[in-house]
Amino acid sequence: MRVPGTLFLAGLLLSIAGLGAQAQTAQTGGAAPVFSPTGFDAEFYGEPLGYPAAMPIEQQSNMVGGFSHYDLLFPTRAVAAPGHASTLKRAAREFSASFTRWGVTYSIEDYLKRNATTGLLIARGDTILFEHYQYGRTDHDRLTSLSLSKTLVGMLVGIAIAEGAIRSVDDPAATYVSELAGSELGRTPLRALLHMASGIGFEQDYGPDSELTRHNRLQVSGDMPDILAALPSFKTRIAPPDTLWRYANVNAEILGLVLARATHMPLSRYLESRIWQPMGAEAQASWRVDASGQEIASCCFNAVLRDYARFALLLAHDGAWNGRQIIPRQWILDATLPVAAGSYLALDKSERPSGYGYLVWLMPGPRRTFELRGIYGQRIFIDPQSQLVMVHTAVRRQPVDDPREAMLDALWQSVLAKAERE
């Protein structure tokens, strides 16, 4: 397990290393990585200080360094890469696309200049089309995923069911975590937890004095050793299971406990052996742990950008990669099929609604397109039909509902449309 070390100096040295990488790769051309020492509003994001990895991590001047060196600030458990990485080809020329927003046409480069994006990678099939980094970040930095990690948990549940460690998504959580017996969470089926529809009252509010923020502080302080100690906070049932969608970290946290108990290994080790190494990750990743040593299943997995792209491409290929079915195909189909209008999983009730699957966000329309989301602008878009993916890491100032998210959505739609024409 890795623990916090010297923060500012490490952040400064790693930022300098990033500038060296820029000079080294600037002449390679095509769809090779492109590195920029600066970015949107860089002065306020800590450029004069060398982008320090320091606390509080949500302070704007600490976000770039903190989000790219998360395991310097928090205890984590390593997820080892295999001896050989799977091959990602590179396009002979860099992909380009444009989109119109608010009556103005923007290129991908225009988008990067106007947004607090640390990394942007577009790939199709097994080929990288575009790979850019900003704020001195490099392709060696482990960028934090925040809530993107929930989808990792959802995929691991599918593998555990295929292996027989978990019998059924209809089993209540207490089947695997005995401490949950007699509680409302314990009586909740795994399917409802996967759907963010446990029916347990919990307010996912990111304000400084919210229930979620207080819970997070306790979780890492040692005053609350693990999620089980917080059970009194999750005792109110507001709806029957699988009848009301309500996003809450506790759903993923309980699934993380179920996986650890059912598989008899930490989440990091299970991910490493079942997904990370089989898919051929190129670099070690890390996962934040709480004061008890349990991975925080709702948050804070950290990896290099290309390994996020490999995971996205694995999902785009319906769980198959390197000639091997790593995640059961039927599980991914069940997790990502579009929902019908009027379903409680339809996040709007329009004719072509967006929706929610098994810890994954479903995009509007009848076509099976989905995404992974994390606060402050972490997004991974996936279109299985074209096998196109787009990975976006960021340091937005607002955790959620940032108005610039509309630009990112428009960018993805333009990338998807352009790729289909080519």
Compute the mean pLDDT over every residue in the chain, rounded to the nearest whole number: 89
pLDDT value, residue 292: 84
pLDDT score of 21 more than 60: no
pLDDT value, residue 10: 40
Lowest-pLDDT choice from 14-23, 42-51, 178-187, 300-309: 14-23
Give percent of the chain above pLDDT 70: 86
At residue 102 the predicted structure's pLDDT band, cuts being 50, 70 and 90, is confident
At residue 422 the predicted structure's pLDDT band, cuts being 50, 70 and 90, is confident
- pLDDT, average across residues 359-385: 95
Cβ 248 vs Cβ 202: under 8 Å: yes
20 vs 18: CA distance, rounded Å: 5
pLDDT value, residue 420: 85
The residue assigned the tokens 């982008």 is 51
pLDDT digits 0-9 by tens, 317-370: 999 998 999 999 999 999 999 999 999 999 998 889 999 999 999 999 878 999
Strand partners for 378: 374
100 vs 98: CA distance, rounded Å: 7
pLDDT score of 403 more than 60: yes
Cβ 44 vs Cβ 60: under 8 Å: yes
Terminal Cα-to-Cα distance of the chain (whole angstroms): 46
- Cis peptide bond prior to 241, omega within 30° of 0: no
CA distance readout (Å), 217 to 121, 150, 377: 32, 19, 22
At residue 421 the predicted structure's pLDDT band, cuts being 50, 70 and 90, is confident
62 vs 66: CA distance, rounded Å: 6
Residue 104's Cβ-side half-sphere holds a number of Cα atoms within 13 Å equal to: 7
pLDDT digits 0-9 by tens, 160-173: 999 999 999 999 99
Give percent of the chain above pLDDT 90: 78
Record the pTM.
Answer: 0.91
pLDDT value, residue 11: 40
44 vs 221: CA distance, rounded Å: 29
pLDDT score of 204 more than 80: no
Cβ 147 vs Cβ 373: under 8 Å: yes
pLDDT value, residue 216: 53
